[in-house]
RNA sequence: GCCGGAGUGGCGGAAUUGGUAGACGCGGCGGAUUCAAAAUCCGCUUUUCGCAAGGAAGUGUGGGUUCGAGUCCCUCCUCCGGUACCA
């Protein structure tokens, strides 16, 4: 198949030239911009710039990829193309655009490969990064590669460790509602012993060690965060996950639950994404209620969102792991209870989910006193009550809770109606809001009021209190892996302390065997020289989870090579917009997949809020606007996967049609946020369009000549581009006709509007309309063509840059720094307009009227239409609706 | 179950605040060019009735509001994503 145009030669040439002039370097305050840099020329800047000299910032960020062995798939460049188009558009609009790229390169696959083959994860990772970078660069994105980062680079993870130490050395002060240095924590006087005082502090750090039931994945040989467990299986690999008590590093994200929730109000994220985060944080309001245990000196506290149903609590349930189970169980129930505890502990999360609704449990032989009516109610244990939510214990109100009802029916426990359902509905099993009954002082109150009244009663009688609860758990932050950031932590005499800041980074030891040790220790424990310090301290052998590096990478881009700080403050202030009144606070636009809705995006917000509290960043939220690109499906409409054999490799598309066509197609497929199927035929469509653009401007004869020359002297293809001549119809100094101007300015207007709303597909179709138009022009004024190329350039930068070079001469500024064209509304004004005429809302005719027609004239013209007449004949006109410039509707009867 | 989002030609998708449904592209059909093909260019292409002019129907279903509904309101159905014993 003959090429539409020599895209391969043009694309490599343009990429080389952009690289040579570091065209897309973004400039920080206090940097010296070379006078011949296109940015300096465009903005008239010379020498060292201060913050005030720089144009407004625009920070546009992609989710950096994990460089996997299989390379880029077509989903990656979808988001990258969208951001690149906007980066180029914003540059044309005069912004100082920061558009960086890097590698989230710690992770499990490289480590698993190492265990299998012995190849060091570093080697694997470097090879993968090289391949990813080659692929990404082949698409001509305008990244500032001088800011490239790699989370596995010691110069990078040094600062990941440093931020971890900030968390370690901080606590959450509930009074100020902020993270503060641990020194501000006042330790009560009654805690005297130095040991105890240290423990008191350690228990309140934002990074702390806790013995807790964790998600243990035997296949992966590591623990996982709650967020990494999907339906009882590991998110990576889909292996079963068990609950197991282990000592682990935790981060106190729960302290920030409310802030993480409230922060969502200030940012421009899609409603569905915000909703996902809200659900994950899971705030619910209710009350804590204290139940005295009968005949024992013990008290069970429960959390409930329905204190109004307290009179209907007919039994209680503790989770099998609850602290009080042992103490409260009667002798005769001892055996049954411990058998049940064993049974529950053996169940994996997966089995728990699968067994789902089949309730099990055991009576523990003790009773509690319902504080509101003094009733003795039995206490049970059952695994439908989770140890990890609320207090790990519930009051059961079977009449108004589906789970309690099922349990009560199975074990013959009493069911007492305390809420009257609205008319027609059965009150037993009714879980909504109704009216209280059988509830003494709450009777006849609607649920909302009853709830409040009961809380007041509880507080008055010191039987409970108002309480807010969250689903969010603290973040389990340690992994038993090799290929991750080592903790900057040392252990001595069973107590942890931090490595000094000046000793960072803590490097990974050299190992050749990456498996866990035979006694189940993490792989780092194999490096005994590394673990055992001279002073007798031991290094922490866990590593950080993959999310650690991505929690703050957007800040490192701002000042990627700073040796003294994780990021210079003035630079941070500039790019995060705090210094400028009109700038968006934070990253202006962040584009990436939905798969990170609750993992990366929640963790990064959490770290950012801690850094903000410690005055290390200047904005409370990291990502101002966030857009999720939709999934690209295979040609068969199924999700792309190797096993289905429907994976499209960008390399093949670029080789056949070029990067510009690839970019254009990815944007033309449909709205960015929708999922849509790939269709290689569609690539050919946009490829033909680019060929038409080429032929609008380039002379076909000369192209033939070019083809002949390059066929002979293959290696000189780039120089041979010089033989190309302009299409004879392209003429300079030619005054465009009003029709031509109208066509061009319609296109300017549409493309500009669509870019502002990220409607790339319709912007492209507007350009197609223009090109179809211009193809039929006898003569093509050079200025019109140049302007059109400005519109095209964010989408198809190589072709636009090359044609711009031909039209404008290579000595002029590159198109990437040309100002964006502005449409002239005066050129779009029409003298007359065709409007539809409807009769009773049905289209019957169209009439052409002068634009400034008065209502009477429009009505008269509409009624004159012969087609219209046949429909109103013999009927009376009741009403005429005239929408100026839009339509006429004649209502007849 | 609950919470989001989406249902428009053969296909991907357009349609400012309710105002000409189907832009643009793919595919298909026909033509020009060619010895022929590829490529390119031009025309047609929602369905249906009709030789035609023209008519009728039509945006998942059923109803409603309106001069007028793909767009607003209610009902139901299907698909996609998230989540699920969260008290």
What pLDDT does residue A586 have? 95
Burial class from Cβ neighbours inside 10 Å (0-12, 13-18, 19+) for residue A714 reads exposed
- Phi and psi, residue A590, nearest 5°: -125, 125
Residue whose Cα is closest to the C1' of B6: A674
Q: State how far the Cα of A708 lies from the Cα of A710, in Å rounded to an integer.
A: 6
State yes or no: pLDDT of A452 exceeds 60.
yes
The residue ranking higher by pLDDT, A177 or A358, is A177
On whether ipTM exceeds 0.90, the answer is: yes
**Tokens (6 digits) for A90:** 């914003």
Nearest nucleotide to A392, CA against C1' atoms: B87
Distance measured from the CA of protein residue A682 to the C1' of nucleotide B29, in angstroms:
20
- Phi and psi, residue A214, nearest 5°: -120, 170
CA nearest A468: which of A798, A174, A782, A196?
A174
Q: State how far the Cα of A320 lies from the Cα of A243, in Å rounded to an integer.
A: 13
Distance measured from the CA of protein residue A272 to the C1' of nucleotide B65, in angstroms:
30
A280 close to A472: Cβ distance less than 8 angstroms: yes
A474-504 burial string, b = 16+ CB within 10 Å, else e? bbbbbbbbbbbbbbbbbbeeeebebbeeeeb
Residue whose Cα is closest to the C1' of B25: A685
Of the given ranges (A544-548, A808-812, A829-833, A886-890), which has the lowest mean pLDDT? A808-812
Distance measured from the CA of protein residue A627 to the C1' of nucleotide B78, in angstroms:
27
Over pLDDT 70: what percentage of chain A?
A: 97
State yes or no: pLDDT of A713 exceeds 80.
no
With H, G, I as helix, E, B as strand and everything else as coil, classify residue A208. strand
**Tokens (6 digits) for A156:** 């990078």
Q: State how far the Cα of A201 lies from the Cα of A209, in Å rounded to an integer.
A: 12
Helix or strand holding residue A799 (H, E): helix A797-808
Encode pLDDT of A594-620 as tens digits.
888 888 999 999 999 999 999 999 999
Residue whose Cα is closest to the C1' of B12: A669
A283 close to A303: Cβ distance less than 8 angstroms: no
* Residue A837 pLDDT level (bands cut at 50, 70, 90): confident
Q: State how far the Cα of A95 lies from the Cα of A91, in Å rounded to an integer.
A: 5
Distance measured from the CA of protein residue A62 to the C1' of nucleotide B60, in angstroms:
36
Nearest nucleotide to A768, CA against C1' atoms: B24
Nearest nucleotide to A845, CA against C1' atoms: B20
What is the mean pLDDT of the segment spanning A857-869?
80
Nearest nucleotide to A232, CA against C1' atoms: B84
Nearest nucleotide to A357, CA against C1' atoms: B85
Nearest nucleotide to A692, CA against C1' atoms: B40
What string of DSSP letters covers A221-261?
Answer: TEEE-GGGEETTEETTTT-B-EEEEEEEEEE-GGGGHHHHH
Distance measured from the CA of protein residue A836 to the C1' of nucleotide B10, in angstroms:
30
With H, G, I as helix, E, B as strand and everything else as coil, classify residue A407. helix
A348 close to A241: Cβ distance less than 8 angstroms: yes
Longest dimension (CA), chain A: 108
Distance measured from the CA of protein residue A687 to the C1' of nucleotide B29, in angstroms:
23
Nearest nucleotide to A754, CA against C1' atoms: B16
What pLDDT does residue A354 have? 59
* Residue A811 pLDDT level (bands cut at 50, 70, 90): low
Nearest nucleotide to A287, CA against C1' atoms: B87
A547 close to A600: Cβ distance less than 8 angstroms: yes
**Tokens (6 digits) for A256:** 């920030």
Q: State how far the Cα of A406 lies from the Cα of A431, in Å rounded to an integer.
A: 13
A539 close to A530: Cβ distance less than 8 angstroms: yes
Distance measured from the CA of protein residue A86 to the C1' of nucleotide B68, in angstroms:
39
* Residue A637 pLDDT level (bands cut at 50, 70, 90): confident
Distance measured from the CA of protein residue A306 to the C1' of nucleotide B61, in angstroms:
39
Encode pLDDT of A351-392 as tens digits.
665 555 688 999 999 999 999 999 999 999 998 998 889 999
Q: State how far the Cα of A755 lies from the Cα of A773, in Å rounded to an integer.
A: 22
What pLDDT does residue A848 have? 81
Predicted TM-score (pTM) of this structure: 0.93
Distance measured from the CA of protein residue A471 to the C1' of nucleotide B4, in angstroms:
19
- The beta-strand segments (E) located in A382-518 are 393-396, 419-420, 435-436, 464-470, 475-476, 489-492, 495-498
Q: State how far the Cα of A291 lies from the Cα of A464, in Å rounded to an integer.
A: 9
Distance measured from the CA of protein residue A890 to the C1' of nucleotide B68, in angstroms:
10
Q: State how far the Cα of A207 lies from the Cα of A522, in Å rounded to an integer.
A: 20
Distance measured from the CA of protein residue A3 to the C1' of nucleotide B38, in angstroms:
12
User: What distance, in Å, lies between the first and last C-alpha atoms of chain A?
Assistant: 63
What is the mean pLDDT of the segment spanning A73-90?
94
Strand B positions closer than 7 A to protein CB: 3-5, 11-16, 19-21, 23-27, 38-42, 54-57, 67-69, 80-87
Residue whose Cα is closest to the C1' of B24: A765
> Can you count the helices (H) and strands (E) in chain A?
30, 36
What are the distances in angstroms from CA A750 to CA A627, A754, A787? 22, 6, 14
Residue whose Cα is closest to the C1' of B81: A594
Neighbours of A776 (CB within 10 A): 6
Of the given ranges (A294-298, A299-303, A796-800), which has the lowest mean pLDDT? A294-298
> What count of Cα atoms within 13 Å lies in the side-chain half-sphere of residue A103?
23
State yes or no: pLDDT of A842 exceeds 90.
no
Residue whose Cα is closest to the C1' of B15: A762
Distance measured from the CA of protein residue A825 to the C1' of nucleotide B16, in angstroms:
16
What is the mean pLDDT of the segment spanning A806-820?
84
Distance measured from the CA of protein residue A489 to the C1' of nucleotide B87, in angstroms:
39
Nearest nucleotide to A393, CA against C1' atoms: B87
What pLDDT does residue A264 have? 92
Neighbours of A172 (CB within 10 A): 20
A254 close to A474: Cβ distance less than 8 angstroms: yes
> What count of Cα atoms within 13 Å lies in the side-chain half-sphere of residue A798?
28
Distance measured from the CA of protein residue A273 to the C1' of nucleotide B9, in angstroms:
33
Distance measured from the CA of protein residue A851 to the C1' of nucleotide B9, in angstroms:
34
What pLDDT does residue A720 have? 86
Residue whose Cα is closest to the C1' of B4: A272
Q: State how far the Cα of A184 lies from the Cα of A182, in Å rounded to an integer.
A: 5
Q: State how far the Cα of A11 lies from the Cα of A139, in Å rounded to an integer.
A: 9
Nearest nucleotide to A358, CA against C1' atoms: B85
What pLDDT does residue A348 have? 63
Nearest nucleotide to A886, CA against C1' atoms: B19
Distance measured from the CA of protein residue A885 to the C1' of nucleotide B68, in angstroms:
16
What pLDDT does residue A270 have? 87
CA nearest A550: which of A486, A515, A600?
A600
Q: State how far the Cα of A594 lies from the Cα of A629, in Å rounded to an integer.
A: 8
What is the mean pLDDT of the segment spanning A175-181?
96
Nearest nucleotide to A231, CA against C1' atoms: B84
Distance measured from the CA of protein residue A399 to the C1' of nucleotide B85, in angstroms:
16
Residue whose Cα is closest to the C1' of B14: A762
Distance measured from the CA of protein residue A68 to the C1' of nucleotide B7, in angstroms:
36
* Residue A889 pLDDT level (bands cut at 50, 70, 90): confident
Mean pLDDT for chain A overall: 90
A431-441 burial string, b = 16+ CB within 10 Å, else e? eeebbbbebee
Task: Give the per-residue SS3 of A23-85.
Answer: CCCCCCCCCEECCCCHHHHHHCCCEECCCCCCCCEEEEEECCCCCCCCCCCCHHHHHHHHHHH
* Residue A880 pLDDT level (bands cut at 50, 70, 90): confident
A246 close to A214: Cβ distance less than 8 angstroms: yes
Nearest nucleotide to A834, CA against C1' atoms: B20
Nearest nucleotide to A229, CA against C1' atoms: B83
Over pLDDT 90: what percentage of chain A?
A: 63
With H, G, I as helix, E, B as strand and everything else as coil, classify residue A402. helix
Q: Which residue has the tokens 């240290």?
A: A198
Q: Sheet of A222-224: strands edge to edge?
A: A222-224, A207-217, A242-251, A475-476
Please name the residues in contact with A584: beta carbons below 8 A apart, sequence gap of 6 or more: A577, A624, A625
């Amino acid at each position: 198949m003959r090429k539409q145009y020599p895209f391969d030669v043009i694309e490599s040439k343009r990429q080389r030239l952009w690289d040579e002039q570091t065209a897309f370097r973004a400039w920080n305050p206090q940097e010296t911009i070379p006078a011949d840099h296109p940015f300096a020329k465009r903005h008239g800047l010379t020498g060292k710039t201060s913050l005030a000299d720089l144009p407004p910032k625009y920070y546009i960020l992609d989710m950096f990829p994990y460089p996997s062995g299989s390379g880029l798939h077509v989903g990656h460049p979808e988001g990258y193309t969208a951001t690149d188009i906007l980066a180029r558009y914003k540059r044309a609009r005069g912004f100082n655009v920061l558009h960086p790229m890097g590698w989230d390169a710690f992770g499990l696959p490289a480590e698993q490969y190492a265990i299998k083959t012995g190849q060091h994860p570093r080697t694997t990772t470097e090879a993968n990064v090289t391949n990813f970078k080659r692929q990404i660069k082949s698409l001509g994105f305008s990244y500032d590669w001088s800011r490239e980062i790699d989370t596995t680079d010691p110069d990078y993870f040094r600062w990941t460790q440093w931020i971890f130490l900030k968390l370690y050395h901080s606590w959450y002060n509930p009074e100020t509602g902020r993270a503060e240095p641990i020194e501000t924590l006042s330790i009560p006087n009654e805690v005297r012993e130095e040991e105890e005082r240290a423990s008191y502090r350690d228990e309140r750090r934002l990074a702390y060690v806790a013995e807790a039931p964790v998600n243990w994945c035997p296949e992966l040989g590591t623990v996982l965060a709650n967020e990494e467990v999907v339906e009882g299986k590991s998110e990576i690999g889909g292996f079963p996950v068990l609950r197991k008590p282990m000592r682990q590093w935790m981060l106190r994200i729960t302290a920030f639950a409310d802030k993480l929730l409230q922060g969502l109000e200030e940012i421009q994220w899609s409603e569905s994404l915000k909703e996902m985060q809200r659900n994950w944080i899971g705030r619910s309001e209710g009350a804590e209620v204290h139940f005295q245990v009968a005949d024992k000196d013990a008290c069970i506290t429960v959390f409930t969102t329905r204190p109004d149903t307290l009179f209907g609590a007919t039994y209680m349930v503790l989770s099998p792991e609850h602290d009080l189970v042992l103490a409260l169980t009667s002798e005769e129930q001892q055996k049954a209870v411990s058998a049940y505890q064993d049974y529950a502990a053996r169940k994996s999360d997966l089995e728990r989910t699968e067994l789902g609704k089949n309730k099990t449990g055991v009576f523990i032989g003790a009773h509690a006193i319902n504080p509101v009516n003094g009733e003795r109610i039995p206490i049970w244990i059952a695994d439908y009550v989770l140890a990890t939510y609320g207090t790990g214990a519930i009051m059961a109100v079977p009449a108004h809770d589906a789970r309690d009802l099922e349990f009560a029916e199975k074990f013959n426990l009493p069911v007492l109606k305390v809420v009257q359902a609205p008319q027609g509905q059965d009150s037993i099993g009714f879980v909504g809001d109704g009216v209280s009954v059988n509830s003494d002082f709450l009777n006849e109150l609607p649920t909302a009021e009853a709830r409040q009244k009961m809380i007041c009663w509880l507080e008055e009688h010191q039987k409970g209190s108002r309480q807010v609860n969250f689903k969010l758990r603290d973040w389990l932050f340690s992994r038993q892996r090799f290929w991750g950031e080592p903790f900057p932590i040392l252990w001595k005499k069973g107590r942890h302390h931090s490595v000094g800041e000046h000793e960072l980074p803590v490097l990974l030891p050299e190992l050749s065997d990456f498996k866990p040790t035979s006694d189940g220790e993490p792989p780092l424990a194999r490096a005994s020289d590394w673990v055992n310090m001279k002073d007798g301290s031991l290094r922490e052998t866990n590593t950080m989870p993959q999310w650690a590096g991505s929690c703050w990478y957007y800040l490192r881009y701002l000042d990627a090579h700073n040796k003294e700080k994780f990021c210079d403050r003035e630079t941070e202030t500039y790019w995060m917009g705090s210094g400028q009144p009109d700038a968006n606070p934070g990253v202006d636009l962040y584009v990436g997949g939905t798969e990170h809705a609750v993992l990366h995006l929640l963790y990064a917000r959490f770290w950012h809020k801690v850094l903000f509290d410690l005055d290390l960043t200047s904005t409370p939220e990291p990502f101002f606007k966030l857009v999720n690109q939709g999934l690209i499906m295979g040609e068969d409409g199924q999700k792309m996967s190797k096993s289905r054999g429907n994976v499209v490799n960008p390399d093949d598309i670029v080789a056949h049609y070029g990067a510009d066509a690839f970019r254009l197609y990815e944007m033309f497929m449909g709205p960015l946020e929708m999922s849509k199927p790939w269709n290689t035929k569609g690539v050919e469509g946009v490829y033909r369009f680019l060929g038409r653009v080429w032929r609008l401007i380039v002379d076909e004869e000369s192209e033939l000549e070019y083809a002949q020359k390059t066929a002979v002297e293959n290696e000189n293809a780039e120089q041979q581009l010089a033989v190309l001549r302009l299409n004879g119809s392209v003429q300079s100094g030619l005054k465009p006709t009003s029709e031509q101007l109208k066509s061009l300015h319609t296109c300017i207007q549409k493309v500009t509007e669509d870019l502002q709303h990220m409607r790339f597909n319709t912007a492209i179709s507007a350009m197609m309309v223009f090109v179809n138009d211009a193809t039929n022009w006898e003569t093509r004024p050079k200025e019109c063509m140049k302007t059109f190329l400005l519109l095209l350039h964010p989408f198809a930068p190589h072709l636009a840059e090359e044609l711009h070079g031909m039209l404008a001469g290579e000595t002029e500024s590159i198109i990437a720094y040309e100002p964006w064209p502005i449409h002239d509304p005066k050129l779009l004004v029409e003298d007359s307009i065709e409007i539809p005429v409807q009769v009773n809302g049905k289209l019957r005719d169209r009439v052409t009227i002068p634009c400034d027609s008065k209502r009477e004239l429009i009505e008269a013209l509409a009624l004159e239409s012969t087609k219209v007449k046949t429909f109103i004949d013999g009927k009376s006109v009741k009403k005429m609706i005239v929408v100026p410039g839009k339509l006429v509707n004649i209502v007849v009867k």
